[in-house]
Amino acid sequence: MSSLSFPPPLRLRASPSAPVPANWGKHAARTSVVEALGGDGGCGGSGMEQLRQGKASGSSGSASPPILQEKPVMLNIGKSTNILWHDCPIGQPERQKLLGQKGCVIWITGLSGSGKSTVACALSRELHCRGYHTYVLDGDNLRHGLNRDLSFKAEDRTENIRRVGEVAKLFADAGTICIASLISPYRRDRDACRALLPDSKFIEVFMDLPLELCEARDPKGLYKLARTGKIKGFTGVDDPYESPVNSEIVITMEDGECPSPKAMAMQVLFYLEKNGYLQA
């Protein structure tokens, strides 16, 4: 087999540097490292560090040294460190205008068996049939996924409500009418959720029905298990329920009878209409 021959490698010669014009500093354009996301079409930008080269000063012809502007303020929140909030040009007002409604959280609280989930679904249906965008956050449903790692101990109940409050806040910010139905037995936890939503966007609905009625219903059979000691820490039996003191809406029995699901839903819907939540 004949041997292969290769051409010798090329030798590259570095070309001499081009001379820098003497008046470069005087006419240099002001530049920015990060500006692509600014202006009308981008998101945020205010939290990003920008490196700018200033204009030349005086007549000396020398450029000003680079300066740092708009350095981000990093935050430590809880166990999260060095985090930054980014704003986008499309916010809640724009989303509400698009949907023709105001984002808010309707927080339905009460004993097990008081009808929270029933009212939540009835209200969602009434609003949906009128063309409004809603979403229901049901306590049991959320424990199938988001909160499946939490028990019913006091500290886990608090974390359960905190998580749901934060999720509900996002729905409200999206312009959605978010309907949360949870026992949420502790007043401080409900108040913490209220504090997440300023400007009266948190609407508390208290299902003020007597324990005897709820226990007689016992749709899940939980009261019976609690009374026989098979489950512990059950609200209304061996764990307290702290009734709200400042609810926007209170649903009670009328003439010894519980209102129908539609009647209770309409009570909430009338409140929304009266207070302007069903318009942008």
Residue 213 in tokens? 């009625």
3-state SS, one letter per residue, for the chain? CCCCCCCCCCCCCCCCCCCCCCCHHHHCCCCECCCCCCCCCCCCCCCCCEEECCCCCCCCCCCCCCEEECCCCCEEECCEEEECCCCCCCCHHHHHHHHCCCCEEEEEECCCCCCHHHHHHHHHHHHHHCCCCEEEEEHHHHCCCCCCCCCCCHHHHHHHHHHHHHHHHHHHHCCCEEEEECCCCCHHHHHHHHHHCCCCCEEEEEECCCHHHHHHHCCCCHHHHHHCCCCCCCECCCECCCCCCCCCEEECCECCECCCHHHHHHHHHHHHHHCCCCCC
- Give the residues across from 134 on adjacent strands: 177
Active site residues: 184
| Contact present, 239 and 185 (Cβ < 8 Å) | yes
* Angstrom distance (rounded) from CA 25 to CA 174: 49
